Amino acid sequence: MTAEADAALGAAATSLLGDRRLIIATNRGPVTFASAADGSLRTRRGSGGLVTALGQVGRHVPITWIAAAMSEGDRRAAADPKLLRLAAGDDAAIRLRFASVERPVYEQAYNVIANPFLWFLQHQMWNLSERPVIDAAIIRAWERGYVALNEAFAAAVLAQTRSDRRPRIMLHDYHLYTAAEAIRRVRPGAVLSHFTHIPWPPSSIWQNIAPTIREAIARGLLGNDVVGFQTERYAHNFMRMIASFVPDATVDYEEWTIRRRRRITHVRHYPISIDVEATRRIAGSRAARRRADQLLGGTRNQVIVRVDRLEPSKNILRGFLAYEALLQRHPRLRGRISFLAFLVPSRTSLREYGDYGRKVQNAVDLINARFGQSGWRPVQLFYENDYAQALAGLSIADVILVNPLIDGMNLVAKEAVIVSERDAALVLSETAGAFDQMADGALAVAPADVVGTADALATALAMPVEERRRRLAKLRRGVEREDITWWLRRQLEDLVELTG
Ligand code: F6P
């Protein structure tokens, strides 16, 4: 980040916050607590793009970060100021608090509604002939789990605002669609924004679900002054959804506003990004450098790399099918390329994720059995949450495969172009939010097109170094310009301008 960008962010923060802290609320926090064998609590970094991006916000702005108590350890820590201080570590700018509900309530919110239901809905991953089935159990989980968790978040936020009549609050993601309405009831003057990190699908998708649920989501979000999305298309889809399902709202497509009961909600898009310096620092650490050397292990092979949570929407299976097709159609590549897949465990208590994980492992085993030779394993799979290792992997890639079915943004694509040391070529789904910013330098693929993805991998592997360098330089400049500071600054400036 340049000194100029730093100063601009500082100025935006001061004019929005004065001497307040920014309150950020997210489901997953920067750390989670787990009990060690001796009964003590240990902290672990939260995984995923949202934590990666927001973790850097505290470097620029003092924040109170309210996260859901996801584990038993978190629930214990929620009431223990000493542990909460420990969680913030050296980072005095971040004050951590938990919104804590009893375990069964949280399970309903996270493991029944947020992930299997809203996530699948918004990533359009349902096999509609069979799912979803909105039965009494879903309605109960919505009311007693999801809405209850949102109420708990509202209470935790309000506890931090004390007598401030205009606290500045940023809510995040699909776990927290109804919290704004609950906060607004108590603190009508609050400055509230919500940012949805995942796709916002067209109204026809929302049409499938119970009107009570979709209307509560719509009304809840209209409790905010600003609602933000990753791309213009998602923002537009949101306005159309409101026009379809909230009869007393007036949508102005030119002004990007929604008026309901004398309140105005501004609809904006802010593509999220990464902290370029922090990413470089971790990728350049001694541990990451050592790991990069080990991964290369003296090979002269060209290396294809992917980094993802083990997640059905990431389209990992078709990625392997494409690699298999590549080896099938280009026998001369056998023994000369390697595919390193760094997959991070995610939502392991959900059946869909367990099933998907097994299919991924099978696909890898099949490819290795079919094409492997002595001294050459076509695919190496790493299944762990090791961020430095993942960046090390990206740094040594010749080709980076990012082929999600659909993705709010996808920060791996952005991390990859920053840490690449071999002028990697980026193969990127047209359906990733990141594609809107990266189309110029990437090789585009349609996610279901396995043949096209195999061709794109072949093109990337054969691409002259000069062209790879040119494309990467362009992508890198884009990420450096539109980084996490830019994402945050634009939101803070909008909040000043639109709510001032
Ligand atoms: O925005 C999507 C998100 O909530 C991000 O935090 C991250 O990409 C991922 O999903 C993490 O999911 P979970 O917190 O359920 O592991």
Residue 198 alpha carbon, nearest atom of ligand 1: 1
Residue located nearest, by CA, to atom 14 of ligand 1 = 28
Residue 320's contacts (CB-CB under 8 Å, 6 or more residues apart) are 339, 360, 363, 364, 367, 379
User: Looking at residue 163, what is its pLDDT?
Assistant: 86
Six token digits for residue 101:
């509900």
Q: Is 311 in the pocket of ligand 1 (CB under 6 A)?
A: no
pLDDT bracket for residue 7 (50, 70, 90): confident
CATH assignment of the domain containing 114: 3.40.50.2000
Q: What mean pLDDT is predicted for residues 160-182?
A: 96
pLDDT bracket for residue 219 (50, 70, 90): very high
List the domain range (segments joined by +) for residue 66: 3-273+485-499
Q: Is 226 in the pocket of ligand 1 (CB under 6 A)?
A: no
Q: Is 197 in the pocket of ligand 1 (CB under 6 A)?
A: yes
Same domain (yes/no): 119, 56: yes
Same domain (yes/no): 464, 316: yes
Q: Is 198 in the pocket of ligand 1 (CB under 6 A)?
A: yes
Pick the range with the lowest mean pLDDT from 40-49, 116-125, 167-176, 379-388: 40-49
User: Looking at residue 162, what is its pLDDT?
Assistant: 85
Pick the range with the lowest mean pLDDT from 12-16, 231-235, 336-340: 12-16
What is this structure's pTM?
Answer: 0.95
User: Looking at residue 41, what is its pLDDT?
Assistant: 87
Same domain (yes/no): 113, 124: yes
Residue 175 alpha carbon, nearest atom of ligand 1: 4
Residue located nearest, by CA, to atom 6 of ligand 1 = 50
Six token digits for residue 459:
């093109």
Pick the range with the lowest mean pLDDT from 8-12, 136-140, 228-232, 413-417: 8-12
User: Looking at residue 49, what is its pLDDT?
Assistant: 67
User: Looking at residue 92, what is its pLDDT?
Assistant: 64
439 vs 434: CA distance, rounded Å: 8
Same domain (yes/no): 490, 473: no
Mean pLDDT, the chain, whole residue set: 94
* Cα 367 to ligand 1 centroid, rounded to whole Å: 29
Same domain (yes/no): 406, 455: yes
Same domain (yes/no): 412, 438: yes
Q: Is 187 in the pocket of ligand 1 (CB under 6 A)?
A: no
Residue located nearest, by CA, to atom 16 of ligand 1 = 346
Q: Is 347 in the pocket of ligand 1 (CB under 6 A)?
A: yes
Residue-wise pLDDT tens digits, 319-374: 999 999 999 999 999 999 999 999 999 999 999 999 999 999 999 999 999 999 99
Query: CB–CB of 93/62 below 8 Å?
Result: yes
For residues 297 and 313, which has the higher predicted lDDT (pLDDT)? 313
Same domain (yes/no): 261, 356: no
Measured between alpha carbons, how far apart are the two ends of the chain, in Å? 27
User: Looking at residue 352, what is its pLDDT?
Assistant: 95
**In the predicted model, is pLDDT for residue 186 greater than 70?**
yes
User: Looking at residue 84, what is its pLDDT?
Assistant: 87
Same domain (yes/no): 337, 397: yes
Report how many domains make up the chain.
2
Same domain (yes/no): 308, 250: no
Which residue bears the tokens 């950020």?
24
**In the predicted model, is pLDDT for residue 236 greater than 90?**
yes
Candidates 27, 32, 44, 50: which one to mutate for ligand 1, based on the most atoms within 8 Å of Cβ?
Answer: 50
Residue 48 alpha carbon, nearest atom of ligand 1: 7
Residue located nearest, by CA, to atom 7 of ligand 1 = 48
pLDDT bracket for residue 500 (50, 70, 90): confident
User: Looking at residue 308, what is its pLDDT?
Assistant: 97
302 vs 33: CA distance, rounded Å: 40
Q: Is 10 in the pocket of ligand 1 (CB under 6 A)?
A: no
369 vs 378: CA distance, rounded Å: 9
For residues 256 and 79, which has the higher predicted lDDT (pLDDT)? 256
Same domain (yes/no): 120, 153: yes
* Cα 366 to ligand 1 centroid, rounded to whole Å: 29
Q: Is 28 in the pocket of ligand 1 (CB under 6 A)?
A: yes
Same domain (yes/no): 152, 172: yes
Q: Is 123 in the pocket of ligand 1 (CB under 6 A)?
A: no
Residue located nearest, by CA, to atom 4 of ligand 1 = 50
Same domain (yes/no): 393, 248: no
